[in-house]
C-alpha cells in the first residue's frame, strides 16, 4: 500500500510521499536525474453510482488522499514510488530496453518450469516486501494509541497480494455498535473488475521478478474453461492434490499444505473497525467440485463460454454493476450467462471458477490466499486482453462517471501506490504493459445457416472453376483445329520426318 519510507509520523503529517531512490539519496523522485517530480495527486471527483450512500465515511474514497496528497510523477519510462524503477515492459539503467514476459498455460510448463514456479510462489510467501507496508488501522487511528506510532506493518510479497485484495473488498465501518456497510467493493461488481485485477497481477509479477532478479519471469495461467468437475491443476507438481485424509485440505506432498492464510477474521474487523494484519492463521481449504449444496458450481466453465463472452461487443452497460446485461465485463466476471444475459442465480466464467474451488478460493475476502487465484486471474486477464484486441474499443467505452465507487475511469485503484487509474490498465498488454499470453483461443463451431452458406459458395466456386476449365479446353481445341494441326502429334510428325530425311540422305551418300 505505502512505501515504508513514507509512513513516519512526519511523513504522514506532511501528506507527501515523494521518496528518494537508494541510488540517488536526497533527491525526491530522482528529480535531479530527470526521472520525475513531486506533484499533487489528482483524485477523481466525478459522481459514483448510487450503491454507496455514505460519502465521507471510508478511507478508500478518492484514493489515496485520506493518507497522502502528493506523490512522485515519473517521466518517460521511469516508474515506481521514487521513479527508480522502469515502467512495465522496460528494463535497464535508462529504462530503454524492451522486455516482454510471456504468460503460458501452466499445464504446458516442463517439469522443471513447474518446480521453479511453485518454488518462486513459496519464496514470495516467505520474503518480506522490500518497499511496501500495510496499515493495520483506519486513518482515524493511524497514529496509534500515543499519537506518534503509525500503525503499519511489514508483510511478505505474497501476503501483500492477499491483503490488497482484502482491503479493496472490505465493508465500510460505520462506527461502534453499527453494522458495517457491505454494499461497497472497490475491485468487483463494476468496470474496474478487469483493470483492478490486471494491476494486482502485474504488481505481484513485478515483485517476483525483482525477488528472482529475472525481468522475464511471467505468471502462468490456468485455462479453467475445460468443463467437467476435475481440477486439472490440483496435482502435487502444481497447486497441490487433494489430501487423502481431509477432503477440504491439500496433500502433504505439496508445499501449499504448509501455507497459512491471512485476513480470516473478517467478522472481527467489521465489528471492531480494525483491519487485517499480516498474521497467518489456518491452512488453505479447498474441495474442488465438492459444494453439494450448490450443484451449479460443481462444474467448471465450458470452452464455448469463452467463445460466447468474447463476442459481446459492449464493454459495460448501465448501471455498470453486477446486474448489468449484455456487458462483456459483467459476463467475464460471471454474474450473467456467457451470452451476456444477467440472471441473479447464474454464476459463470470467473465467478464459477472461484466457487468451484469451494473453500478459501471461493470467499472474496480470502480468495488470493489460495495460489490458484493467481492462475485463475491470469486466464481471466487473458480473456480481457483478447477482448481488447478483437474489439479495439478505445478508452471512451469505459464509464467516466456513475460507476460504483472506485470503478470510474479516472479513479485511482485502491489500495495501490503510487496512484494508478483504471484507465491506465484499459490498454492492450503486449503493446503497453510488457506481457503477452500464449493462448490458443477456442473457436465457435459453424451454425447450420453458416454451413449451408459455405456449401452453396463452395458449390458455386466448383461449378465456376470446372465450367471455366472445360470452356478453355474447348476453345483451345477449336483454335488448334482451325490451324489444321493436332499439336502433340504434329510435333512428333515434324521431328520424325526431318530425321527420316537426314537418314535417307546419309544412305544415298554411301
Ligand atoms: O474471490 C472471489 C470469490 C467469489 C465468489 C463469488 C460469487 O459469485 O459468489 N464471486 C467471487 C469473486 C471473487 O473474487
**Ligand 1 neighbour 283 (Cβ under 6 A):** no
**Ligand 1 neighbour 136 (Cβ under 6 A):** no
177 burial via Cβ count (<10 Å: 0-12, 13-18, 19+): exposed
What is d(CA 186, CA 414) in angstroms, rounded to the nearest whole number?
A: 7
401 CB contacts (<8 Å, ≥6 apart)? Answer: 46, 47, 48, 408
**Ligand 1 neighbour 362 (Cβ under 6 A):** yes
380 burial via Cβ count (<10 Å: 0-12, 13-18, 19+): buried
| Residue 367 near residue 373, CB atoms below 8 Å | yes
**Ligand 1 neighbour 354 (Cβ under 6 A):** yes
What is d(CA 310, CA 316) in angstroms, rounded to the nearest whole number?
A: 13
Q: Which atom of ligand 1 is nearest to the CA of 187?
A: 14
**Ligand 1 neighbour 85 (Cβ under 6 A):** no
**Ligand 1 neighbour 364 (Cβ under 6 A):** yes
| Residue 317 near residue 327, CB atoms below 8 Å | yes
248 CB contacts (<8 Å, ≥6 apart)? Answer: 285, 286, 287, 290, 359
**The three-state (H, E, C) secondary structure of 367-398, written as one string:** HHHCCHHHHHHHHHHHHHHHHHHHHCCCHHHC
> In this structure, what C-alpha cell is assigned to residue 147?
499519537
**Ligand 1 neighbour 169 (Cβ under 6 A):** no
**Ligand 1 neighbour 355 (Cβ under 6 A):** yes
Pairing of strands 435-437, 101-103: parallel
Residue 140 falls in which region: left (phi positive, over 0), alpha (psi -120 to 50) or beta? alpha
Residue 310 falls in which region: left (phi positive, over 0), alpha (psi -120 to 50) or beta? alpha
What is d(CA 394, CA 306) in angstroms, rounded to the nearest whole number?
A: 22
**Ligand 1 neighbour 80 (Cβ under 6 A):** no
Q: Which residue lies with its CA nearest to atom 1 of ligand 1?
A: 364
**Ligand 1 neighbour 197 (Cβ under 6 A):** no
Q: Which residue lies with its CA nearest to atom 3 of ligand 1?
A: 364
Inter-helix orientation angle 372-391/192-212, to 10°: 120
What is d(CA 39, CA 102) in angstroms, rounded to the nearest whole number?
A: 34
**CA of 355 relative to ligand 1 center, distance in Å:** 7
What is d(CA 18, CA 81) in angstroms, rounded to the nearest whole number?
A: 7
Q: What is the pTM of this model?
A: 0.89
Q: Which residue lies with its CA nearest to atom 6 of ligand 1?
A: 351
Query: What per-residue confidence (pLDDT) applies to 500?
Result: 44
**Ligand 1 neighbour 358 (Cβ under 6 A):** no
Q: Which of 395, 399, 389, 397 is nearest to 426 (CA)?
A: 395
468 burial via Cβ count (<10 Å: 0-12, 13-18, 19+): exposed
Q: Which of 403, 384, 395 is nearest to 334 (CA)?
A: 384
Q: Which atom of ligand 1 is nearest to the CA of 335?
A: 8
**Ligand 1 neighbour 347 (Cβ under 6 A):** yes
Query: What per-residue confidence (pLDDT) applies to 462?
Result: 75
Exposed e or buried b per residue across 270-286, where buried means at least 16 C-beta atoms within 10 angstroms of its C-beta: beebbbbbbebeebbbb
**Ligand 1 neighbour 367 (Cβ under 6 A):** yes
Query: What per-residue confidence (pLDDT) applies to 493?
Result: 31
179 CB contacts (<8 Å, ≥6 apart)? Answer: none
∠ CA 432-439-216, rounded to 5°: 50
Q: Which atom of ligand 1 is nearest to the CA of 361?
A: 1
Residue-level pLDDT, tens digit, the chain, 510 residues: 999 999 999 999 999 999 999 888 999 999 999 999 999 999 999 999 999 999 999 999 999 999 999 999 999 999 999 999 999 999 999 999 999 999 999 999 999 999 999 999 999 999 999 999 999 999 999 999 999 999 999 999 999 999 999 999 999 999 999 999 999 999 999 999 999 999 999 999 999 999 999 999 999 999 999 999 999 999 999 999 999 999 999 999 999 999 999 999 999 999 999 999 999 999 999 999 999 999 999 999 999 999 999 999 999 999 999 999 999 999 999 999 999 999 999 999 999 999 999 999 999 999 999 999 999 999 999 999 999 999 999 999 999 999 999 999 999 999 999 999 999 999 999 999 999 999 999 887 766 676 677 678 778 777 777 777 777 577 766 555 554 433 333 333 333 344 444 444 544 433
Query: What per-residue confidence (pLDDT) applies to 484?
Result: 41
What is d(CA 379, CA 221) in angstroms, rounded to the nearest whole number?
A: 5
Q: Which atom of ligand 1 is nearest to the CA of 368?
A: 1
Which element (helix H / strand E) includes 303?
helix 303-310
**CA of 354 relative to ligand 1 center, distance in Å:** 6
Tell me the ipTM for this assembly.
0.92
Query: What per-residue confidence (pLDDT) applies to 450?
Result: 67
What is d(CA 377, CA 200) in angstroms, rounded to the nearest whole number?
A: 9
Q: Which residue lies with its CA nearest to atom 5 of ligand 1?
A: 362
> In this structure, what C-alpha cell is assigned to residue 198?
490486471
Amino acid at each position: 500500500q505505502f512505501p515504508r519510507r513514507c509512513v513516519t509520523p512526519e511523513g504522514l503529517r506532511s501528506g507527501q510521499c515523494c521518496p528518494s531512490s537508494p541510488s540517488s539519496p536526497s533527491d525526491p523522485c530522482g528529480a535531479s536525474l530527470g526521472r520525475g517530480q513531486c506533484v499533487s495527486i489528482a483524485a477523481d471527483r466525478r459522481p459514483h453510482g448510487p450503491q454507496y450512500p455514505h460519502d465521507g465515511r471510508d478511507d478508500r474514497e478518492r484514493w489515496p488522499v485520506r493518507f497522502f496528497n502528493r506523490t512522485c510523477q515519473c517521466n518517460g519510462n521511469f516508474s515506481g514510488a521514487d521513479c527508480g524503477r522502469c515502467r512495465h515492459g522496460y528494463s535497464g539503467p535508462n529504462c530503454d530496453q524492451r522486455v516482454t514476459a510471456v504468460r503460458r498455460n501452466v499445464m504446458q510448463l516442463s517439469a522443471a518450469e513447474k518446480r521453479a514456479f511453485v518454488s518462486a510462489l513459496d519464496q514470495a510467501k516467505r520474503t518480506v516486501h522490500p518497499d511496501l507496508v500495510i496499515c493495520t488501522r483506519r486513518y482515524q487511528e493511524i497514529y496509534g494509541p500515543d499519537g506518534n506510532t503509525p500503525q503499519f506493518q511489514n508483510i511478505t510479497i505474497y501476503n501483500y497480494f492477499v491483503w490488497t485484495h482484502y482491503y479493496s473488498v472490505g465493508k465500510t465501518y460505520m462506527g461502534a455498535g453499527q453494522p458495517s456497510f457491505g454494499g461497497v467493493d472497490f475491485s468487483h461488481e463494476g468496470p474496474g473488475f478487469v483493470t483492478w485485477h490486471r494491476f494486482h497481477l502485474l504488481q505481484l509479477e513485478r515483485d517476483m521478478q525483482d525477488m528472482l532478479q529475472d525481468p522475464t519471469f511471467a505468471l502462468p495461467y490456468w485455462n479453467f474453461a475445460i468443463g467437467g468437475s476435475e481440477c486439472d491443476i490440483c496435482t502435487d507438481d502444481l497447486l497441490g492434490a487433494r489430501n487423502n485424509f481431509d477432503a477440504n485440505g491439500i496433500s502433504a506432498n505439496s508445499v501449499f499444505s504448509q501455507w497459512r492464510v491471512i485476513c480470516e477474521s473478517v467478522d472481527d474487523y467489521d465489528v471492531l473497525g480494525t483491519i487485517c494484519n499480516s498474521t497467518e492463521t489456518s491452512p488453505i481449504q479447498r474441495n474442488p467440485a465438492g459444494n453439494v449444496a450448490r450443484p451449479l458450481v460443481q462444474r467448471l466453465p465450458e470452452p464455448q463460454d469463452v467463445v460466447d463472452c468474447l463476442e459481446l461487443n459492449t464493454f459495460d452497460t448501465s448501471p455498470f454493476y453486477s446486474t448489468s446485461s449484455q456487458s462483456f465485463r459483467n459476463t467475464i466476471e460471471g454474474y450473467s450467462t456467457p451470452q451476456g444475459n444477467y440472471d441473479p442465480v447464474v454464476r459463470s466464467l470467473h465467478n464459477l471458477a472461484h466457487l468451484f474451488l469451494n473453500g478459501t478460493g471461493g470467499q472474496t475476502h480470502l480468495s488470493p490466499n489460495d495460489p490458484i487465484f493467481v492462475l485463475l486471474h491470469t486466464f481471466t486477464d487473458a480473456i480481457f486482453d483478447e477482448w481488447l484486441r478483437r474489439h479495439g474499443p478505445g478508452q471512451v467505452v469505459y464509464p467516466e462517471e456513475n460507476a460504483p465507487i472506485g470503478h470510474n475511469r479516472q479513479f485511482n485503484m485502491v489500495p495501490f501506490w503510487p496512484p494508478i487509474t483504471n484507465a491506465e490498465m484499459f490498454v492492450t498488454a503486449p503493446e503497453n504493459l510488457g506481457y503477452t499470453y500464449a493462448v490458443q483461443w477456442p473457436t465457435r463451431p459453424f451454425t447450420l445457416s453458416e454451413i449451408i452458406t459455405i456449401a452453396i459458395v463452395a458449390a458455386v466456386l466448383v461449378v465456376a472453376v470446372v465450367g471455366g476449365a472445360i470452356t478453355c479446353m474447348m476453345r483451345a481445341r477449336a483454335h488448334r483445329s482451325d490451324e489444321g494441326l493436332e499439336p502433340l502429334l504434329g510435333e512428333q510428325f515434324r521431328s520424325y520426318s526431318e530425321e527420316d530425311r537426314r537418314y535417307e540422305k546419309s544412305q544415298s551418300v554411301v
